[in-house]
Structure 1
Amino acid sequence: MTTHERTEEMALREKLAGGDAPIGSWVSMGSPAAAEIVGDLDFDFVVVDTEHTPLSVESAGELVRAVDAAGDTDTVVRVPENDATQVKRALDLGAAGVMAPRIESAAEAEALVSAARYPPEGVRGVAGSRANGYGARLDESFASANDAVAVLPQVESAAGVEHAEAIARVDGVDTLFVGPADLSADLGCFGEYDDPAFRDALERVLDAGAAADVPVGTLATSPAEIDAWHDRGLDYLIAGTDIGYLRRGARSASERYASQFRE
């Protein structure tokens, strides 16, 4: 099944809008094998991170292909910044959605949505690419892509929290995605998710999402965080990262070995 055929079904957008609590995963190691393994599991979508990694567009494309090869899991590319060219290149890879960091106003959210939409609704450039069968399905893709591509702005700062409801109400925004590390750092309580400042900010984002009827998600980096974010009322989660899976699995094996052979 091709990426084009999946995005036509609007699977990720429908799951976000329908309150189905889609489960995501994160890949940033740059390993197509790891991406394919994750794509073969029961995730609804996988985020390919190009913000905090050295991944080139070509390398990101290999990860998108790897996830696609595994089955029906959608891909979302997190671009390094809210830039129309970066968004265009990510979507041309065949991603079903785009995530952009540190969105702080409705105007910035509008620019992100515009970058993800073909004219006249937006400014996305038109060309043959993997997303449309290298031009073989360009007409069909042009007609359907504006309804198919998911847009995931990140709320990662006090300014983003302040304007969260305005961001959520922008036509074409499918979710508010909280970046917990960056948000806590911006609030002066890095990694302290029980800090009153962070708890209050998260509640404000959740309230903003509810007011605009837009789901709010975030990233869990451990099983304990899955429980914690669920208890705080998040609508859906990215439930882990390829680096985290590898680290926890390797540590568990090492500790088990030590307990059996070295004690």
Structure 2
Amino acid sequence: MRNPKNAFKAALQAGTQQIGIWNTIDGKTVVEQLASCGFDWMLVDTEHSPISVTDVMSALQAIAAYPDTSAVVRAAGNDTVEIKRLLDIGVQSLMIPYVQTADEARAAVSAMRYGPHGVRGFAGMTRATRFAKVENYVQTVEDELCLIVQVETISAIGQLEEIASVEGVDAVFIGPADLAASMGHPGNTGHPEVVAVIKDAIARLKAMGKPAGILSLDTAFNRQCIEWGTTFTAVGVDLCLLDDAVRALATSFGK
């Protein structure tokens, strides 16, 4: 058995725009429903949600039934043990939040690699190895792993090239909300100063040939980011979409 190909990573390398959706609601039903909707990728978020490692494995199993949608998982932090557990259950595309420096990016790379080039622990009987049935898993796994580092403060933006240039970093995701807060504009991602920094960061990544990603609930802004050069763009969050629809329904009945 061969190690499964990472279609999301291949698309980023080809420069093909990938439109995504964000999953924060735990449980199997919502994640499967989202996977059925035709997005190129979906992010299973363990940083700002109650989703656990066990929930992630169920999510991966549900998403696998929809091969046109790729699973990306955001870890809760840049933690070697958590990264190891996520990789062992079969995560191929991993986003690490709040990466502030090139050294922190290198630590994430190391956590995703076996020795002698990293510190990932060895385990054979895992879902990632298809329970020891993938041939030469240890030798081939890194070809299909995709590491996305999340740059989300003005300090990190100042070190963008150094972070993005770390060998093993496949893409950079810009976090508008924390970026705005770090710039003194909490809750105002649309502030002109914040938008200007985001536009500049996308241009700098594009000049490097490094895929840039973003999440926004503003459709017009998402389209603008795509024009500026994002390669993977998340356009909605499940809980926000649910809340919008339910509130609109209640309002239509005078509530």
Query: TM-score when scaled to structure 2?
Result: 0.90
Total equivalences in the alignment: 254
Return the offset for 1:207: 3.0
Residue 222 and residue 63 in structure 1: after superposition, are their counterparts in 2 closer, same or farther (change >3 A)? farther
Task: Indicate which of 173, 182, 185 corresponds to 1:177.
Answer: 173
- The answer for unaligned runs of 5 or more in structure 2 is none
Cα distance in 2 for residues equivalent to 1:253 and 1:196: 33
Task: Indicate which of 222, 227, 230 corresponds to 1:226.
Answer: 222
- The answer for unaligned runs of 5 or more in structure 1 is none
Query: Does the 8 A contact of 1:220 with 1:229 survive in 2?
Result: no
Look up the match of 2:148. 152
Cα distance in 2 for residues equivalent to 1:208 and 1:231: 14
Residue 222 and residue 249 in structure 1: after superposition, are their counterparts in 2 closer, same or farther (change >3 A)? farther
Alignment of 1:19-58 (within 5 A): 19-58=15-54
How large is the Cα RMSD of the aligned pairs?
2.2
Look up the match of 2:129. 132
Cα distance in 1 for residues equivalent to 2:249 and 2:137: 46
Residue 126 and residue 74 in structure 1: after superposition, are their counterparts in 2 closer, same or farther (change >3 A)? farther
Query: Does the 8 A contact of 1:8 with 1:144 survive in 2?
Result: no
Task: Indicate which of 61, 67, 70 corresponds to 1:71.
Answer: 67
Query: Does the 8 A contact of 2:202 with 2:228 survive in 1?
Result: no
Cα distance in 2 for residues equivalent to 1:212 and 1:233: 12
Look up the match of 2:161. 165
Cα distance in 2 for residues equivalent to 1:18 and 1:132: 26
Query: TM-score when scaled to structure 1?
Result: 0.88
DSSP-derived class of the 1:70 partner: coil
The one-letter amino acid paired with 2:48 is: H
4+ residue segments displaced more than 6 Å: none
Cα distance in 2 for residues equivalent to 1:204 and 1:166: 15
Residue 221 and residue 93 in structure 1: after superposition, are their counterparts in 2 closer, same or farther (change >3 A)? farther
Task: Indicate which of 240, 244, 247 corresponds to 1:248.
Answer: 244
Return the offset for 1:174: 1.4
Identity %: 32
The one-letter amino acid paired with 1:153 is: V
Query: Does the 8 A contact of 1:12 with 1:96 survive in 2?
Result: no
